[in-house]
A and B are shown apart, each in its own frame.
Chain A
Amino acid sequence: MPVAVELAGVSFAYRSGQPVLTDIDLTLEQGEFVAIAGPNGGGKTTLVRLVLGLARPDSGTVRLFGEPAHRFSRRATLGYVAQRAQLGGHGPVTVREVVSSGRLAQGGLIGPLRARDRAIVDDAIADVGLEGLARARLSELSGGQQQRAFIAKALAGEPSLLVLDEPTAGVDVESQESLALLLDRLHRDRRVTTLYVSHEFGAVETIVDRLVLVRGGIVFDGPPQSLPSEWHDPSHAHARH
């Protein structure tokens, strides 16, 4: 299977000198659905920034689809869902406006969207089940619905890699599991390489292909079924059986 993401011998420290990540080796094959979890401060967000080419490692290499991540030539095909607290601006914005902004890199910066781009936006909105709320203001939606809108925004870019950074932050357990089912369906329908990064993994541990636990280095990398039982998240129903 071709490789989508490859980190080899990656170490990273911020200016303060304290190493955040040490000697990381990680490979994601195209079409894989991988969850990266670990405690806050364990280096997950840094790992995401390295994968997306927003930061460069002190040592080692990071490659996206065979190219150095920081010089990746097909950035328009990277779908990124940032933490919810950072999104949405400070004024009224509709679901359709949010999702349309996901066509910016492909649709060009100047002028209105073309008919084909608008059709892709409509498909993405329908794919996450928000077609009845396309004209609704984002601020009027629940946390889970807002997160769906931003997932649709990422899908509108027809991504080859979808990265979700703490997508369930501030969302209740029920909405987390609903979101996980959505991601599972989208992954099966679109076969997009998906990287789900969160401090908690209970909602997705039955649907991902692999689970990677990060705490400065990789402390576990394998199918969720191989995870020691005491590491499962008891707040999710499947973990209690």
Chain B
Amino acid sequence: MLDTEFMRLAFAAGAVVGLLAPAVGFFLVQRNMSLVGDGIGHTAFAGVAAGYLLGVSPVLTALVAAVAGAVGIEWLRSRHQAAGDQALALLFYTGLAAGVVLASSAGALNVNLFAFLFGSILTVTREDLVVIGALGFGGLVAVALLYRALAGVVVDEEGARVAGVPVGALNVLVAGLAGLTIGLSMQIVGILLIAALMVLPAIASGRVAWSMRSSLLLAMTIGLASVFAGLTIAYYGDLPPGGAIVLVAAAAFAVASLVDAARRRV
């Protein structure tokens, strides 16, 4: 399997995505914002379509759209211009509608677009890997350096705000990282399923972890294992990698739930 260059590229990019998506999604899950990734994904879809229409890299336009959408939803939420779920709905449907209209205008409602929606192991190029590696590493470093601050806001957002911690800036950072993650991950997992890779490992790890730190590290481990197993299944089964990866992550959740149930019974 690794004799072919496209699989080596897919695994290398997948390693970054498998670690970054749960690392960022962890903080969304902890703050009861599990579905935000879906809303951002639909904005990324509009970005891909805009890229086709403008004749520039759809990856680049999706990245810009995803980060802008993520920061926008946080702005709406924090300013109480809309309740969390309303801000999400606004982004979700506007992104989807804009994507369909732009893609149709560009004549791009075709197989290439489907590769972005559901992921494709054939689409990662060496240039993509450089971008995914560099930005993904930057995202992971940001999470590592600011872990204590991000965790502190999760534990007690109001208390942190009272003590003068820049809660608004940290929330925008998480939103920006979520947009970045989705922009980087869409070729591997697909726009429609990337949010699942951000959320499912974090939910699974929460069932069996013994602390917040262990929960984050376990989520990243599950994310990485899900990507590697999913890519392998996709290669041998000729399946879309996004679906295979997310089903492996869902299986990890089922196993974690069984372990949790057995532990409670003891």
Q: Which one of A52, A92, A109 contacts B162 once the chains associate, using CB atoms below 8 Å?
A: A52
Interface pair A76/B206, CB less than 8 Å apart? no
Proximity bits, A23-56, B CB within 8 Å = 1, else 0: 0000000000000000000000000000010100
Q: Chain A: how many interface residues by the 8 Å CB criterion? A: 38
Interface residue range, chain B: 20 to 34
Interface pair B211/A89, CB less than 8 Å apart? no
Residues of A within 8 Å of B162, CB to CB, are 52, 54, 75, 78, 80, 163
Bound Cα distance A97, B152 (Å): 8
Interface pair A112/B161, CB less than 8 Å apart? no
Interface pair A89/B164, CB less than 8 Å apart? no
Interface of B, helix, strand, loop or mixed by DSSP:
helix
Residues of B within 8 Å of A76, CB to CB, are 163-164
Known contacts A104-B160, A109-B165, A153-B159; is-contact A91 B215 (Cβ 8 Å): yes
A-B interface pairs (CB < 8 A), number: 113
A32 to chain B, nearest CB (A): 19
B35 to chain A, nearest CB (A): 14
Say if the beta carbon of B236 comes within 8 Å of chain A.
Answer: no
Interface pair B32/A92, CB less than 8 Å apart? no
Minimal Cβ-Cβ distance residue in B for A91: B206
Known contacts A75-B162, A104-B149, A113-B148; is-contact A137 B156 (Cβ 8 Å): no
A192-211, CB < 8 A from B: none
Known contacts A90-B30, A110-B149; is-contact A97 B213 (Cβ 8 Å): yes
Most buried by B among A91, A102, A150, A153: A91
User: A75-B162, A93-B154, A109-B146 known; 11 other A-B pairs, CB under 8 Å?
Assistant: A90-B31, A97-B155, A97-B211, A101-B151, A105-B160, A109-B149, A109-B170, A110-B149, A112-B148, A150-B159, A163-B162
A67 to chain B, nearest CB (A): 13
Interface pair A101/B145, CB less than 8 Å apart? no
Residues of A within 8 Å of B161, CB to CB, are 54
Q: Which one of A54, A101, A112 contacts B156 once the chains associate, using CB atoms below 8 Å?
A: A101
Say if the beta carbon of B85 comes within 8 Å of chain A.
Answer: no
Known contacts A101-B152, A104-B165; is-contact A94 B145 (Cβ 8 Å): no
Bound Cα distance A54, B26 (Å): 28
Residues of B within 8 Å of A81, CB to CB, are 159
